[in-house]
Chain A
Amino acid sequence: MFQFPRLDFDSDADILRRDVRAFLASELDAGGFTPAADCWVSGADPEFSRKMGGRGWLGMTWPREYGGQERPAHHRFVVTEEMLAAGAPVAAHWIADRQTGSHILQYGTEEQKREILPRIAAGECFTAIGMSEPQAGSDLAAIQTSATRRDKGWVLSGRKIWSTGAHYSHFMIVLARTSPAEGRNRQVGLSQFLVDLSLPGIHISGIKDLGGTPHFNETLFENVDLPADALLGQEGNGWAQCMGELALERSGPERFLTSLVVLEKALPMLARHCDVRRAAEVGSILANLRVLRRMSLGVAQMLEQGASPATAAAVVKEMGNRLENDIVARLRAMLAGIPRSEWPDGFDALLREAVLHLPSNTLRGGTTEILRGIIAREMGMR
């Protein structure tokens, strides 16, 4: 019932993969970064993002006139999965490259595309997501942020929360109510706005996560004057646009590759202590990751063909998130019996970081419960 079409890498993708691996190896040699778990959320390094931009590895699928490379979607998949597997600091540009840019390309004005997309592709412009609010998490349609027309533009008021990277971002796509709900149908009357975060009346305050990293934020919009063209896409179409954004957000390799770097670091040590139990765990993890990657590639293929595979994306995220947490639990079990004195340098901190990030896997981008609900609805249960 859920189809995941096969995606074949072309020969350019193979060349690209070699280039990316060579780049990562030289950056690692030069001490350019320290591999980290959850690197796409907490590993922000604008300098690294600029280097990637300089190599043409951001906005890869966009038209050349907007700074893109007009490459197929699976080339972007190659770059992102290699970066994640290496634990590279890709957080700064992640959201802009993954969803905001595509959204601007689809719904933005010509001027926005010419002004913003080349900067994102260069690794010089970062963006944040403005969906959740203090009173509206899983129940996204309950948002209270509003945008009202004034003169030729809009006035934005409200509060967004959990916006990863808002403190270093230049733009945020904000979901706001532009007209009242129609009875119980709250999904109408919502619109998306492309908000320049340097405008007056915007206050961004950092929130430390469980591990103490201030990666996400609360953003307050106090009667912010927006120009007319800040409206992204159609007025009242915000819900549908948001769901399209979430399909891009949910199915990528970041949903199953963030813990791998920790296991990879332990692998030589596990090999020295190889026994049936450890071999079975490693074999099982490999099987699960390889199959999930295949499914994720299938969604990438559907997205490339212009579909919006929201349910298939939910399946990938649901299974990927559970696997991420499973990998860390199994790794801890495999460590039993190995003296800590044998742990490689930095492994302790890496493992603890992965543990402290566990809860967010099954929360951000749609909780496990919400995803299961989406899958159940697809099967006609709701």
Chain B
Amino acid sequence: MDRDDLKMITDGLERILGDASLEAIDKDGGLGAGADALWATLEENGYPRLCASPEHGGFGASLADACELATIVGRHALALPLADSILANGLLSACGVEPPSGRIGLADPLDLAAPLPHAMQLEAFVALDGGRLRCVRSAPDNVRVLEQAEDGAGYVTDGHADTVHDAVAPSWLTPHMFQALAALIRSASMAGAMQAVLDLTLSYTREREQFGRPLAKFQAIQHHLSDIACETAASIAAVELASDALRSAPEPNSDMIDEIAIAKIRCGQAATTVAAAAHQAHGAMGFTREYALGRFTRRLWQWQDEFGTETEWATRLGNTILAGPNPNLWLRISKPI
């Protein structure tokens, strides 16, 4: 997809999300009529099928392009599984399956005991095992909700789940690759959420006055904002690096997994720093359910845990360095994409 087409698509998504009552949808856990109406609009405009091939009714966009939409999802703290559905439908289409309509989730193939993100909201989810990609029907009745989690994440309890599609996965779609691609869209959403946190914290500290002047004028607060800006910038750069790696070859390959690992590690680390600094600058106001900051920080904390934490990815990446015959960091740091 060329830059102009992608720009039109991302601008369109910004408009739709800008017009929607996202906070109300959020309060309903992404389950009410508002959520349904928004999802219908997204489907009408083809967003969930961004990465599906044209013969499957999609735009044929690359998974790297999906990152840009996932960033927007994060910037708006969208409660719905748009990024997940884009990836799930892209994978189904790559397996020759026309994606079903509705909200489709992603089951982590490397951590079968992990909660399924958005479980309560899903019509179906995709799962990879034994070299086959399965699309499994899902319904809220069969979900045990994870307490204190965002967006209806939970555990599917029905042992007789209804498989609606079952296709041979292409050889590049290994469980590691599946998890990596899901980790990449989470990284992109984290980068987007951090941009929103930066904006929110800037405007709050400019308006809020204590000791007769805006918080923004205090050096200690400026340093918090500087930390947020730096970590956000690094997160954006990390996602770009991984997207560039994805774009470097027509099919995903295992080298790309390392670049995605770097993105998930870096964004996950940044999320901790950014959330802590933003809450510190906001004081008690940021600790309320009502105020907008929590919509972003709660998701940052959840997203850093989904599809491999930064420490899990770092351990794997570190092992690739330390397990080799001549361990060397510089060759890896300077490796061309």
Chains A and B are bound partners: yes
List chain A positions with a Cβ less than 8 A from chain B. 1-2, 4, 6, 9, 14, 17, 81-82, 85, 260, 263-264, 267-268, 270-271, 274, 276, 278-295, 298, 315, 318-319, 369, 371-373, 375-376, 379-382
Q: Is the CB of A283 within 8 A of B314?
A: yes
Provide the residues of chain A in CB contact with B234, threshold 8 Å.
291-292, 295, 319
Q: Is the CB of A271 within 8 A of B222?
A: no
Q: Is the CB of A318 within 8 A of B230?
A: yes
Chain A minimum-CB-distance residue to B336:
A9
- In the complex, which of the residues B198, B313, B327 contacts A271, with contact meaning CB atoms closer than 8 Å? B327
Provide the residues of chain B in CB contact with A1, threshold 8 Å.
195, 198, 229, 232-233
Q: Is the CB of B322 within 8 A of A270?
A: yes
Instruction: List CB contacts (< 8 Å) of B210-255 with chain A.
Output: 216-217, 219, 221-223, 225-227, 229-230, 232-234, 236-238, 240-241, 244
List chain B positions with a Cβ less than 8 A from chain A. 195, 198, 202, 205-206, 216-217, 219, 221-223, 225-227, 229-230, 232-234, 236-238, 240-241, 244, 261-262, 265-266, 269, 310-311, 313-319, 321-324, 326-330, 332-334, 336
Q: Is the CB of B318 within 8 A of A279?
A: yes
| 15 A-B residue pairs with CB within 8 Å | A4-B237, A9-B336, A260-B333, A264-B328, A264-B330, A267-B327, A281-B318, A283-B316, A284-B265, A294-B238, A295-B237, A315-B233, A369-B219, A369-B223, A381-B202
Residue of A271, A274, A276 with highest tally of chain B CB at under 10 A: A271
Q: A90 to nearest B CB, angstroms? A: 16
Q: B328 to nearest A CB, angstroms? A: 7
Provide the residues of chain B in CB contact with A282, threshold 8 Å.
314, 317-318, 321-322, 329
Q: Is the CB of B229 within 8 A of A260?
A: no
Q: Is the CB of A376 within 8 A of B222?
A: yes
Chain A minimum-CB-distance residue to B270:
A291
Provide the residues of chain B in CB contact with A318, threshold 8 Å.
226, 230
Provide the residues of chain B in CB contact with A298, threshold 8 Å.
237
Q: Is the CB of B314 within 8 A of A284?
A: yes
**Known contacts A293-B333, A369-B223, then 6 further A-B pairs from the complex at CB < 8 Å, ordered by chain A residue:** A260-B333, A280-B318, A283-B317, A286-B318, A287-B317, A379-B225
In the assembly, what is the distance between CA of A200 and CA of B232, in Å? 51
In the assembly, what is the distance between CA of A283 and CA of B264, in Å? 11
Secondary structure class of chain A's binding surface, majority of residues = helix
Q: A198 to nearest B CB, angstroms? A: 39
In the assembly, what is the distance between CA of A274 and CA of B334, in Å? 23
Chain A minimum-CB-distance residue to B240:
A6
Q: A8 to nearest B CB, angstroms? A: 9
Chain A minimum-CB-distance residue to B326:
A268
In the assembly, what is the distance between CA of A237 and CA of B65, in Å? 45
Provide the residues of chain B in CB contact with A381, threshold 8 Å.
202, 205-206, 216-217, 221-222, 225
Q: Is the CB of A267 within 8 A of B321?
A: yes
Q: Is the CB of B233 within 8 A of A295?
A: yes
Q: Is the CB of A268 within 8 A of B329?
A: no
In the assembly, what is the distance between CA of A380 and CA of B179, in Å? 40
8 closest A-B pairs by beta carbon, nearest first, are: A283-B318, A279-B318, A283-B314, A283-B317, A376-B222, A282-B318, A372-B226, A287-B265
Q: Is the CB of B222 within 8 A of A373?
A: yes
Q: Is the CB of B314 within 8 A of A287?
A: yes
In the assembly, what is the distance between CA of A115 and CA of B328, in Å? 42
Chain B minimum-CB-distance residue to A274:
B322
Q: Is the CB of B334 within 8 A of A293?
A: yes
Chain A minimum-CB-distance residue to B198:
A1
- In the complex, which of the residues B202, B314, B334 contacts A81, with contact meaning CB atoms closer than 8 Å? B334
Chain B minimum-CB-distance residue to A368:
B223
Q: Is the CB of B265 within 8 A of A85?
A: no
Chain B minimum-CB-distance residue to A381:
B216
Q: A326 to nearest B CB, angstroms? A: 11
Provide the residues of chain B in CB contact with A319, threshold 8 Å.
230, 234
Residue of B261, B322, B323, B328 with highest tally of chain A CB at under 10 A: B322
Q: A9-B336, A284-B310 are in contact. Are A278 and B318 (CB under 8 A)?
A: yes
In the assembly, what is the distance between CA of A379 and CA of B217, in Å? 12
Q: Is the CB of A290 within 8 A of B315?
A: no
In the assembly, what is the distance between CA of A289 and CA of B238, in Å? 11
Q: A280-B314, A283-B314, A286-B329 are in contact. Are A271 and B323 (CB under 8 A)?
A: yes
In the assembly, what is the distance between CA of A9 and CA of B195, in Å? 29
Provide the residues of chain A in CB contact with B206, threshold 8 Å.
380-381
Provide the residues of chain A in CB contact with B229, threshold 8 Å.
1-2, 315, 375, 379
Chain B minimum-CB-distance residue to A295:
B237
Q: Is the CB of A289 within 8 A of B233?
A: no
Chain A minimum-CB-distance residue to B325:
A271
Provide the residues of chain A in CB contact with B219, threshold 8 Å.
369, 373
- In the complex, which of the residues B236, B322, B336 contacts A267, with contact meaning CB atoms closer than 8 Å? B322
In the assembly, what is the distance between CA of A42 and CA of B219, in Å? 33
Q: Is the CB of B238 within 8 A of A287?
A: yes
Q: Is the CB of B222 within 8 A of A382?
A: yes
Q: Is the CB of A4 within 8 A of B244?
A: no
In the assembly, what is the distance between CA of A268 and CA of B321, in Å? 10
In the assembly, what is the distance between CA of A131 and CA of B8, in Å? 49
- In the complex, which of the residues B205, B230, B321 contacts A375, with contact meaning CB atoms closer than 8 Å? B230
Q: B71 to nearest A CB, angstroms? A: 14
Provide the residues of chain A in CB contact with B238, threshold 8 Å.
287, 291, 294
Q: A114 to nearest B CB, angstroms? A: 36
Chain A minimum-CB-distance residue to B259:
A290
Q: A291-B237, A381-B216 are in contact. Are A279 and B226 (CB under 8 A)?
A: no
In the assembly, what is the distance between CA of A293 and CA of B313, in Å? 20
In the assembly, what is the distance between CA of A85 and CA of B328, in Å? 11
Q: A212 to nearest B CB, angstroms? A: 28
